[in-house]
A and B are shown apart, each in its own frame.
Chain A
């Protein structure tokens, strides 16, 4: 019978300082040298990492009560609106929110130099942030306006809560049109001038657990430089195994994570305000997920290489904006990382939007945390839906 390990056994080894922890890159080498069975026996935990723009991010903030008290109805942080329809002094600042006086794309392509993601980075860097609030006044909350400066340490709670992060896989974006386009996949030059992709491939957390055998609600993770947790499956969590037109297996696609953590213990190195010319502002987030090698099946998936993992090539000039199904074929992360791919017979230079050096660093940090006994694994309260759940996206129909 093949080996089965438990979370408790692995945690006992971590506490005793005897756990064998390797990064996903290192596991690939170990499996190549020793095979799946020995790797499963010898390695306890594999660490993954990703660092890339993750739009569905934001933070809940509790400002504390002013004197007199105020039911903050509308709130701005450094001029960026935060959603205050929660409770008197709570607000949620979203990563893609923009100042109301931003020229947006009226001076096309707009620069979007500052947004919610930048506010979050400034907060986590300890910088003072201007808080402005207005209200209509009530008997218990008479104050109608407020302008002050806050810092992260001044306020009560700051909880990073990102409803959709760590995309399992993503499109390789190209432009078949005849003019430059400005997308959330960066600047795409006309006539297949370049191709952009955005995962860390063989280091990317959800590519390494495609069937969600270990990742679930309560999984303890590296989040923004601190410790966070998987709260739920993310929005648009549509895990599946991709097949090309010939029916070949092209690896996983579509899962996402909702993650939560204390912003106060995070770092501006791993939460970085980000702008996309002509598109908008967002936040780049660093996430690392540990994968316990409970059995050989989990090891097999965790040892997938850039050669085994594929991204669909999608045209962002016509097909993507008009939600046309299909793609221009699949390309492996090994090819994408080589710097050029072939699309429709043309050699196209590639570039990532996801930082591989930072993904490596996250996997290494998480490895150190676990190996030194300061980070124990959590057994998920409930695993996230895997490909077998058959979840798929619903299109939005415009009704008359």
Chain B
């Protein structure tokens, strides 16, 4: 089973709870934390890669704790109207999620490979990459 990428949002009331520990201990899920952040209001955002048989039950547990769970692919958006296919993002993207299709030289975005490093968001000259975390 290939890992699935999700975005978790924690309110200030639960950001200090060991919910990820529970995912591992109680649901036997393989967890890879791609990105984690707690803001000054104690709200947390986390990007996870999750693998395991009890994936759905794990997500159910998260929701029952009040964690908002979103699919990562909905979070990383390329504004197709704005993108000019210049390519400035492609050598910077560490995973090849943004890459050039040859010989057409068109820039393609494969959100499954994206790890939300957000380098592209800042590097895109026409601000076509939008991260909605």
Residues of B within 8 A of A (CB): 84-92, 100, 102-106, 119, 122-123, 125-127
Q: Which of A10-18, A291-299, A355-363 contacts B (4 or more CB under 8 A)?
A: A355-363
Distance (Å) between the CB of A273 and the closest chain B CB? 7
Chain A residues with CB under 8 Å of B125's CB are: 53, 186, 274-276, 284, 353
In the assembled complex, A354 has its CB within 8 A of some CB on chain B: yes
In the assembled complex, A52 has its CB within 8 A of some CB on chain B: yes
Across the A-B interface, the 6 shortest Cβ-Cβ residue pairs: A194-B91, A356-B105, A351-B91, A352-B87, A274-B125, A351-B90
> How many CB-defined contacts (below 8 Å) exist between A and B?
79
Which residues 332-360 of A sit at the B interface, judged by CB distance below 8 A?
337-339, 349-358
A355 to B125, alpha carbons, bound, how many Å? 12
A389 to B53, alpha carbons, bound, how many Å? 73
CB of B102 within 8 A of CB of A354, answer no
Give the residue of A109, A189, A349, A355 whose beta carbon is less than 8 angstroms from that of B85: A355
Give the residue of B86, B88, B102 whose beta carbon is less than 8 angstroms from that of A339: B102
CB of B85 within 8 A of CB of A351, answer no
A358 to B103, alpha carbons, bound, how many Å? 14
Chain A residues with CB under 8 Å of B119's CB are: 187
Chain A residues with CB under 8 Å of B123's CB are: 186-187, 277
CB of A355 within 8 A of CB of B100, answer no
A185 to B25, alpha carbons, bound, how many Å? 48
A356 to B125, alpha carbons, bound, how many Å? 15
Contact A339:B100 (CB < 8 A) given known A186-B123, A353-B125: yes
CB of A275 within 8 A of CB of B127, answer yes
Distance (Å) between the CB of B67 and the closest chain A CB? 31
Chain B residues with CB under 8 Å of A273's CB are: 126
In the assembled complex, A113 has its CB within 8 A of some CB on chain B: yes
Chain B residues with CB under 8 Å of A111's CB are: 122
Which residue in chain A gives the minimum CB-CB distance to B103?
A337
A169 to B119, alpha carbons, bound, how many Å? 28
A53 to B126, alpha carbons, bound, how many Å? 10
Given pairs A274-B125, A351-B100, 17 additional interface contacts (CB within 8 A):
A51-B86, A109-B122, A186-B88, A187-B119, A187-B123, A189-B92, A194-B91, A195-B91, A196-B91, A274-B126, A275-B125, A284-B125, A349-B91, A351-B90, A351-B92, A352-B86, A354-B86
**Residue of A194, A275, A338, A351 with highest tally of chain B CB at under 10 A:** A351
CB of A351 within 8 A of CB of B87, answer yes
A354 to B100, alpha carbons, bound, how many Å? 13
Which residues 186-204 of A sit at the B interface, judged by CB distance below 8 A?
186-187, 189, 193-196
Distance (Å) between the CB of B39 and the closest chain A CB? 18
CB of B122 within 8 A of CB of A358, answer no
Which residue in chain B gives the minimum CB-CB distance to A52?
B86
Interface string of A248-272 (1 = CB under 8 A from B): 0000000000000000000000001
22 A-B residue pairings within 8 Å (CB atoms)? A51-B84, A52-B86, A113-B127, A186-B123, A187-B92, A187-B119, A274-B125, A275-B125, A275-B127, A276-B125, A277-B123, A284-B86, A284-B125, A337-B105, A351-B91, A352-B100, A353-B87, A355-B85, A355-B87, A357-B105, A357-B106, A358-B85
A357 to B103, alpha carbons, bound, how many Å? 10
**Residue of B89, B91, B105, B122 with highest tally of chain A CB at under 10 A:** B91
Distance (Å) between the CB of A225 and the closest chain B CB? 13
Which residues 99-154 of A sit at the B interface, judged by CB distance below 8 A?
109, 111, 113
Chain A residues with CB under 8 Å of B105's CB are: 337, 352, 356-357
Which residue in chain B gives the minimum CB-CB distance to A194?
B91
Chain B residues with CB under 8 Å of A193's CB are: 91
Contact A357:B127 (CB < 8 A) given known A189-B92, A352-B105: no
Chain B residues with CB under 8 Å of A357's CB are: 85, 104-106
Which residue in chain B gives the minimum CB-CB distance to A201?
B105
Distance (Å) between the CB of B16 and the closest chain A CB? 30
